[in-house]
Chains A and B, each alone.
Chain A
Amino acid sequence: GAGVSQSPSNKVTEKGKDVELRCDPISGHTALYWYRQSLGQGLEFLIYFQGNSAPDKSGLPSDRFSAERTGGSVSTLTIQRTQQEDSAVYLCASSKDRGTEAFFGQGTRLTVV
């Protein structure tokens, strides 16, 4: 596609429910990132996929968070048993190569009520 696509754009869920957030990176981009942006906060790194290498999961805040990238393309971020503190904008980005800039999607705004 022309850009990084994320769905849904908005998600309201009840505390304790599981949610899945989807990211379609730019075709041909080998690197894919997930970040979280809370109101008034910066970008918190969550997870990084690079080609077929093992993902860097060092930013996942708890074992309720997981992500996968199927076929080196689409990625899904799953949050189990959501909590109110999970409310944030979840941003996905992809880049073509190591030295190139990342292109961001519009984000998924998650609200846990």
Chain B
Amino acid sequence: KQEVTQIPAALSVPEGENLVLNCSFTDSAIYNLQWFRQDPGKGLTSLLLIQSSQREQTSGRLNASLDKSSGRSTLYIAASQPGDSATYLCAVDTGGFKTIFGAGTRLFVKA
């Protein structure tokens, strides 16, 4: 059974700091891994998708990596801003139509 874990559960950093969010999964047989952002009381916004054959994806200040063999992904945020404050979720597509989410990391960037 696929399980997804995100560490840390919460993180507070000063503005301008570079930071790394972690996501681990128990079964390496995945189709893709997707990172999302969720603002309080809102739906999810897709940030990056990494296919199982890829090692990383970049979008602006965001870089996501994937190591299937070790069951790990990281989301790197460069030069953090107060507007980056949100919950960040990772999700794995197991290929059986199900997508399994982690519980998320709540990020607070202090001005």
Partners in one complex: no
